[in-house]
């Protein structure tokens, strides 16, 4: 199956999950399935995030559709899904080739988005060229309005870097004003798209709020020794530590902070803090740790989602992008039920419609989902939403963070 000469031979290639047999593209009147394709990082440096957040929710949704007898079309008929999945191996070149193959050769009806900010930006022009709606549920970018203008069929569902920064400030500023925090911030960020964008938004928000950014350092991809940066953060006198880090980095930062007994009043590492493995990796001693995302742990819909995810897939989802991705698939499903397999009509419905999801009734504003949890905190075994502070189901922030032990 040498379809790229140098790429994707090691991919999981066709049919990571196939719900109906592959028999070529049927004519409309003879259609026996709805083809759904995706290329996601099953292996490589992005695998930790993709295998926690993206792939499980694609599989859960496909199984839910299968259990319901297929996906309903506007005429009331149902068709099973046929899933064609490729491993992009965490390589942009492989991702681009895979998306092109899904569109040109596999001729899938819809393509699901890849994992990660950079990867979604990389393939947005391809989704637009081939006319596929792009539901980006793992991308945090600035200036989303501009992206939606450039690619009208792209939908950005995880919020902007500015929104996360201002939501963090909304948590910190009252504690600074009442003297619980000294207002000094030590920030580190990965020198990659995600870190660059989040830290840029944070700098502006911290300055506007009158917070003192006493340390602002970047680190290269692949860094696993954070001892020097953590020592500098502790020596800065900052009560607030913020890291915009990828999962492997987040795990290392937390472990090394604990080892060094570095326990600032606010400890906010990046992606991975909200993963289900984070607490057991740290012996459950994560009370008060903040990061991106969160859930309303008391929501019946979320409780049902968590239970089904664990029962069907044998593992828990993360408490940030996982429910957003599943909700995006519910939106896509409902748009297809209303408009059929016309991709242009489905994109228009996604842009203007209202959808019933595990996150409640959702509608997009300028192709963006804005009703989100931006900041969460580990409290009593759950990573719960603490900002926006006026959102229904919000938990009160715990400041200062308890000692690691």
227-252: buried (b, 16+ CB within 10 Å) or exposed (e) per residue? eebbeebbebebbbbbbbbbbbbbbb
What is the DSSP secondary structure assignment for residue 141, as one 8-state letter?
B
Instruction: Give Cβ neighbours of residue 10 (< 8 Å, ≥ 6 apart).
Output: 43, 87, 89
Query: What is the rounded CA–CA span in Å between residue 402 and residue 285?
Result: 9
28-160+300-363 and 161-297+374-387 share one CATH topology?
A: yes
What values do phi and psi take at 295, rounded to 5?
-140, 165
pLDDT averaged over the chain? Answer: 91
Task: Average the pLDDT over 380-394 and give the result.
Answer: 96
Q: Which CATH number fits domain 161-297+374-387: 3.40.640.10, 3.30.70.100, 3.40.50.300, 3.40.50.2300?
A: 3.40.50.2300
Query: What is the rounded CA–CA span in Å between residue 285 and residue 371?
Result: 30
Nearest to 40 by CA among 108, 86, 9, 6: 86
Q: Where are the domains of the chain?
A: 28-160+300-363, 161-297+374-387
Q: Which is it for the CA torsion 105, 64, 139, 270, positive or negative?
A: negative
β-pairing verdict for 184-190 and 212-219: parallel
Beta bridge partners of 354: 363
| 28-160+300-363 homologous superfamily | Response regulator (3.40.50.2300)
- Cβ 374 vs Cβ 159: under 8 Å: yes
**Cα separations in angstroms, 322 against 328, 359, 387:** 10, 11, 18
Q: What is the pLDDT of residues 198-245, one digit of tens each?
A: 999 999 999 999 999 999 999 998 899 999 999 999 999 999 999 999
pTM: 0.88
Q: What is the pLDDT of residues 55-100, one digit of tens each?
A: 999 999 999 999 999 999 999 999 999 999 999 999 999 999 999 9
């Amino acid at each position: 199956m040498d379809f790229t000469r140098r790429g994707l031979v090691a991919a999981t290639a066709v049919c990571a999950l196939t719900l109906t047999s592959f028999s070529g593209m049927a004519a409309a009147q003879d259609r026996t399935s709805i083809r759904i394709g995706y290329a996601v990082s099953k292996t490589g440096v992005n695998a930790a995030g993709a295998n926690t957040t993206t792939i499980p929710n694609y599989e859960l949704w496909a199984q839910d559709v299968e259990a319901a007898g297929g996906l309903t079309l506007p005429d009331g008929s149902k068709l099973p899904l046929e899933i064609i999945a490729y491993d992009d191996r965490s390589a942009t070149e492989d991702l681009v080739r895979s998306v092109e193959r899904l569109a040109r050769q596999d001729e899938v009806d819809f393509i699901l988005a890849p994992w990660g900010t950079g990867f979604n930006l990389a393939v947005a022009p391809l989704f637009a060229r081939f006319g596929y709606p792009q539901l980006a549920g793992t991308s945090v970018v600035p200036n989303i309005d501009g992206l939606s203008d450039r690619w009208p069929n792209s939908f950005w569902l995880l919020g902007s870097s500015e929104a996360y920064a201002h939501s963090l400030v909304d948590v910190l500023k009252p504690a600074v004003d009442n003297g619980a925090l000294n207002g000094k911030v030590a920030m580190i960020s990965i020198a990659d798209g995600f870190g660059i964008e989040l830290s840029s938004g944070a700098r502006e928000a911290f300055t506007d709020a009158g917070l003192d950014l006493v340390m602002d350092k970047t680190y290269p991809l692949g860094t696993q020794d954070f001892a020097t940066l953590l020592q500098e953060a502790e020596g800065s006198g900052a009560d607030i530590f913020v890291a915009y880090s990828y999962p492997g980095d987040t795990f290392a930062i937390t472990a090394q902070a604990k080892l060094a007994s570095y326990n600032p009043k606010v400890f906010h590492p990046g992606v991975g803090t909200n993963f289900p493995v984070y607490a057991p990796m740290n012996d459950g001693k994560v009370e008060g740790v903040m990061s991106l995302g969160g859930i309303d742990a008391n929501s019946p819909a979320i409780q049902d989602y968590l239970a089904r995810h664990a029962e069907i897939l044998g593992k828990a989802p993360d408490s940030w992008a996982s429910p957003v991705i599943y909700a995006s698939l519910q939106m896509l499903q409902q748009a297809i039920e209303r408009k059929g397999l016309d991709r242009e009509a489905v994109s228009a419905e996604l842009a203007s419609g209202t959808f019933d999801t595990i996150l409640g009734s959702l509608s997009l504003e300028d192709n963006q989902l804005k009703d989100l949890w931006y900041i969460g905190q580990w409290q009593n075994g759950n990573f719960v939403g603490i900002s926006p502070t006026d959102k229904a189901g919000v938990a009160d922030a715990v400041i200062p963070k308890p000692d690691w032990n």
